[in-house]
Amino acid sequence: MSPSDLCLSPLEQVDPLRFTVSSGACDCHAHIFGPKKMFPFIADRSYTPPEASIEAYKNMHRKLGITRAVIVQPSVYGTDNQVTLTAIKQYGNENARGIAVVDNDVSELELERLHEKGIRGVRFNLLFKGGAQFKYLERISSKIAPFNWHVQILMDVSELQLITDRLRRLPTEIVFDHMGHISTNHGTNNLGFQALINLIKEGRAWVKLSGNYRISSAKPSYKDAEAFARALISASQKRVVWGSDWPHPGLHDTMPNDGALLNALDEYAASDQLKHAILVNNPAELYGFNTSPKGSEYDK
């Protein structure tokens, strides 16, 4: 598949939920694309997404009862974070945060500007072109530590054990995307996945219960991802958050339903208390949201 081939658009239909979503629930992983005339893609990219507007994203949240968001800078924009900053503002600064991509020589002044606009972390994308370079992990981590930001990593953790000592030395928190983005074919006893489990148990890492469709071999149910999600929750109920990964960039064959993706959390976390922690309390701590959420436009 060529990087220029247009990816699928997200589904407009949202399956009904099987549980009641708590007030202040946060979608901790999503992207906004476009408008293309305002925010052009970088030439050296791994995929080409269709436009996915903040209005469409908020409409999906209305259907699910979600009132908070973490907008993640997608690789197709490189280090120009304006699309993400604009999305944070349009969603509402009280209820939105962002993850940026920066150069290794980013200035303190620029980091201050990004912080004021809601950025709370820097993403290292080891799977797609356009991310911060991993060789500068320590340098960037030391720059963002004074802002209490974290490092967010998109990687296949099947060989994570090879770099865990390096990660333990970082002065920041570490957040892993998409349950470690490891194929379920590896099994939960994989050394890399167990390295992730250990980092979570040690209080050195967080993980996003997102992207089950990216790691699953049991499509369209994605049922085989459940064992991985349960293992991550068992490592620490306080260091897991949930994300939709809307609009699911990079897909060309099958598009998941956002209602089904949130319903999967009901299978991973059976109790209402645990789902509340994953959707409300844990994101509030990680991203600095008010623990007593104010009303949003969705309450009106």
Mean pLDDT of the chain: 95
Let me know if residue 127 belongs to a domain.
Answer: yes
Let me know if residue 121 belongs to a domain.
Answer: yes
Let me know if residue 48 belongs to a domain.
Answer: yes
Position 290 scores a pLDDT of 84
Token digits of residue 122: 């820097």
**Average pLDDT, stretch 139-149?**
98
Number of domains present in the structure of the chain: 1
Let me know if residue 290 belongs to a domain.
Answer: no
Dihedral angle at the C-alpha atoms of 18, 61, 63, 295, nearest 10 degrees? Answer: 100
Position 3 scores a pLDDT of 84
Q: Among 51, 50, 45, which residue's Cα sits nearest to residue 2?
A: 45
**Average pLDDT, stretch 48-66?**
98
Q: Which one of the listed residues 27, 245, 266, 299 is annotated catalytic?
A: 245
Each residue's pLDDT tens digit, 219-241:
889 999 999 999 999 999 999 99
Each residue's pLDDT tens digit, 58-102:
999 999 999 999 999 999 999 999 999 999 999 999 999 999 999
Confidence band (pLDDT; 50, 70, 90) for 133? confident
Please indicate whether residue 245 is annotated as part of the active site. yes
Q: Which residues of 133-165 are buried (b: 16+ CB within 10 A; e: fewer)?
A: eeebbeebbebbeebebbbbbbbbbbebbebbe
Let me know if residue 291 belongs to a domain.
Answer: no
Q: Look up the domain containing 145 and give its range.
A: 26-285
Each residue's pLDDT tens digit, 161-202:
999 999 999 999 999 999 999 999 999 999 999 999 999 999
Burial class of 88 by CB neighbour count within 10 A (0 to 12, 13 to 18, 19+): buried
Confidence band (pLDDT; 50, 70, 90) for 132? confident
For position 233, which CATH number holds?
A: 3.20.20.140
